[in-house]
Each structure stands twice: as structure tokens, then as C-alpha cells.
Structure 1
């Protein structure tokens, strides 16, 4: 049974979400003290976190940042606010998805199922390591390393990189990436993919690799290695 930590201070909404997820055989736990969210997260060790933006004491962005400094657990944001910067901010902080309230529970369930299937099943692939230029990519540990440095990736960033490298020197369409990552593109904002790719490229820049993930306007993305057929 997967455990979901639901960080939501609206008691009525918490109860409704918990009842729905319990009906789908998820174990749902909440927060007892919103001053110590990270401690309770560590104690519960959930498989997935659902977090509201507006919370007592500190907002969801703060706690997402704290959790990300400790863990790559999948995170879904919930928000009643409709400003696009909220979604951009959540993705920049390492969230896996963003759902605006009010939402349909079928959408929430579909997103949870897709994330859990992707995060906890993909590591069964036979190939765990891959080289790209002078770096080694560990798909299981979500890490890219060179002889002098290494970076940590989120699950989404690892899978984006994995998909691009498996088809290196070939354009991978945005639609293909969205479908591979989230299973059902109907529930995904196109901007969500853009934010994830930009965040991945920024991290790769720390190793001098960001330039090898190129954007092909109107087509998609390409990981280049060796002779670039588009030069």
C-alpha cells in the first residue's frame, strides 16, 4: 500500500480527499503540527506528498523547499490561487505536478497513479547507468556525475534526460515527453514540461552539459552527442 502525506489545513477538504484516496487503497496521513511539517514528513516517510500552498505559519513553497533538500519524494501541489507564477514556482522548487482547486477527483487520482507508476516502477529497467559526454547518469539514484562534480535530479528531470538520451541526436516531440512522463497529456499544462526541461538544463549547466539539451522550436527537444546532425 502506498502512503500519501496530505499537507492540507482545510479539515473538510482533508477529510474528503482522504476518504477518496482510501477508497483507492492508499494510506493517507496528515499533519498534526504545521510548525514541524518536515519532522512529521521524516517520521511518516510517505511515497508521495500532496501539499496546499496556503498553510498556517509557513506556506507550501517553504515546506516543498525543505522536503526537496532532504528527499526526492514525488510532490503534488494543490492551490486555490490561479496565478501562473504559482505553478512556475512549484515546478522550480522541484514539485512533480500542480492542481488548481476546485478540481475533479478523477484528475487527482489519474495524476497520483501516473506519478507512482512512473517513480516506483521505472527503476526496474535493466539499465541503471548511462554515459553522456563525460558524465555518468545513474537512473536509479537520480544523479549525474563527472570526475569533478555531481548533481541531484528530481524523478521528472531524470526521466526527461533518460528519454532524450535514449533517442540522442533525434528530436523528441513535446507530446512524446508529456505522454512518457505523465501518461495522459490531457491533464498536463504545456508550460509544466517547459519548466521541467529548463530546470534540468540549468542543473546540467553546473557540469557544462546544459548546452547539449537543445530546444527545437515548434518541434521538441534533442540531446546531442558526437556529430550533431543538425549543425
Structure 2
């Protein structure tokens, strides 16, 4: 049974979320003390997190970063804050998705199922024990990690899927539509800005490995991973 970790201070909303999630066979844990979120997370070991932005003590962005230090499980923000900047901040801090309140609970269930399939279900199973290497850069799909010259860098599920697309076809242009189709399914609306954020995050991580010029933008077409992985200016 999949376990859902809820970090939300609106008790009525928590009650409704738990009721709907239990109906669909999920186990849940709702945080009661907002100064022990990480302790509760480590004790519960959930498969997915539903996380609000506005919380007592520290905001959801802070807790998202702390969870990312421990886990690559899917994190879906649920918030009344609708601005594009809030959604961008959520993604940049490690989230996989963002839902604005008020939301349709059927959409919540669809999002949860979608992310669980990609992280642990049928979509993820074929990735077990698989790695791909291009010019000394290795992506371990199961461990969600990049390795280069004795360096290791952890990725989110979405970042790993993006890198997987590039590394399976080094030197080939991957269109934006291809990335959107491959990484997200029909239950998840993704705009161009969301993809831009993830591409930026992937570039930053490659740069931290010393590969600042490895991922090239091909205007009007998409992106290309240089097979030689040159560190270009």
C-alpha cells in the first residue's frame, strides 16, 4: 500500500484529503507538529508528499528542500498561492508538481497516481538496474544519480527522466514536445515554463559537474546533449 505524507495546516482540508485518499486505497500520515516535519517524514518513509506553501514556522519551500536532502520521492505542492513565481519556486526547490486551491479531488488522485506510477509503478519498473553512459558521464536510472569523474550528483525523478532522454540519443536534437510527451502523461498539465525550469535545473547540475556546455539549446527545435560533453564557454 502506498503511503502519502500530508503537510497541511488546514484541518478540514486534511480530513477531506485523507478521506479521498483512503477511499482509493492509500495510507496517509498528516503532520500535527510543524517543527518536526523531517522527523515525521523519516519515521513514516512515505512514497509521496502533499505539501502546502503557507505553514507555521517554516514555509513549504523550506521543507521541500529538507525532504530533498533525504529522498527523491515525488513532492506535490497544494497551495492557494496561484502566481507563476510561486509555482516556479516550488519546482526550483525540488517539487515535482503544483496544484492550486481550490482543486478537484479527482485531479488530486490522478496526480498522485501519475507520480506514483512514474516513481514506483509500471512506468518505472523497466528502469530497474539500468544505467547509461556517454563520454564518461553515467546516469544510474534506478538510483536517480549522475556520476562523472568520481563525482556523484543526485537527481529528482523528473530530472532523471529528462537526462535519460538526452543520454539515450547523444548528439541528437530532442524536441520540447518529445520531452513533454515522455516525461509527463495526460493527467498532468505542463506549460512551457515548467519545462524551462527543469531544463535550467538539469543544466545547473551538469555545470556543477564541470559540464557547463554539455546541454545545448537549438532554437526552434529543442535541445541536444553533446556526445563529447565538452565544457564550452
The residue number in structure 2 matching 1:107 is 107
Partner of residue 136 from structure 2, selected from 134, 137, 161: 134
Residue ranges of structure 2 left out of the alignment (5+ in a row): none
The residue number in structure 2 matching 1:172 is 174
Deviations 1:154-175 (A, max 9, x none): 1111110001222222222222
The residue number in structure 2 matching 1:212 is 214
Contact kept? 1:175, 1:185, Cα under 8 Å: no
Distance 1:126 1:20, change over 3 A: closer
Runs of 4 or more, structure 1, over 4 Å off, are: none
Deviations 1:28-58 (A, max 9, x none): 1101211111100111100000000001111
The residue number in structure 1 matching 2:48 is 48
Q: TM-score, normalised by structure 1?
A: 0.92
**C-alpha displacement of 1:179:** 2.2
Deviations 1:158-207 (A, max 9, x none): 11000122222222222221222221276222211111111011011111
Contact kept? 2:51, 2:75, Cα under 8 Å: yes
SS of the residue aligned with 2:39?
A: helix
Whole-Å Cα distance in 2 between the matches of residues 84 and 77 of structure 1?
A: 13
Deviates more, 1:121-130 or 1:171-180: 121-130
**C-alpha displacement of 1:127:** 5.6
Distance 1:227 1:119, change over 3 A: closer
Contact kept? 1:123, 1:139, Cα under 8 Å: no
Whole-Å Cα distance in 1 between the matches of residues 148 and 229 of structure 2?
A: 21
Whole-Å Cα distance in 2 between the matches of residues 226 and 188 of structure 1?
A: 31
**C-alpha displacement of 1:134:** 1.8
- Count matched residues: 228
Whole-Å Cα distance in 2 between the matches of residues 17 and 203 of structure 1?
A: 35
- Give 1:51-70 correspondences, 5 Å limit: 51-70=51-70
SS of the residue aligned with 2:213?
A: helix
Whole-Å Cα distance in 2 between the matches of residues 48 and 118 of structure 1?
A: 11
The residue number in structure 1 matching 2:195 is 193
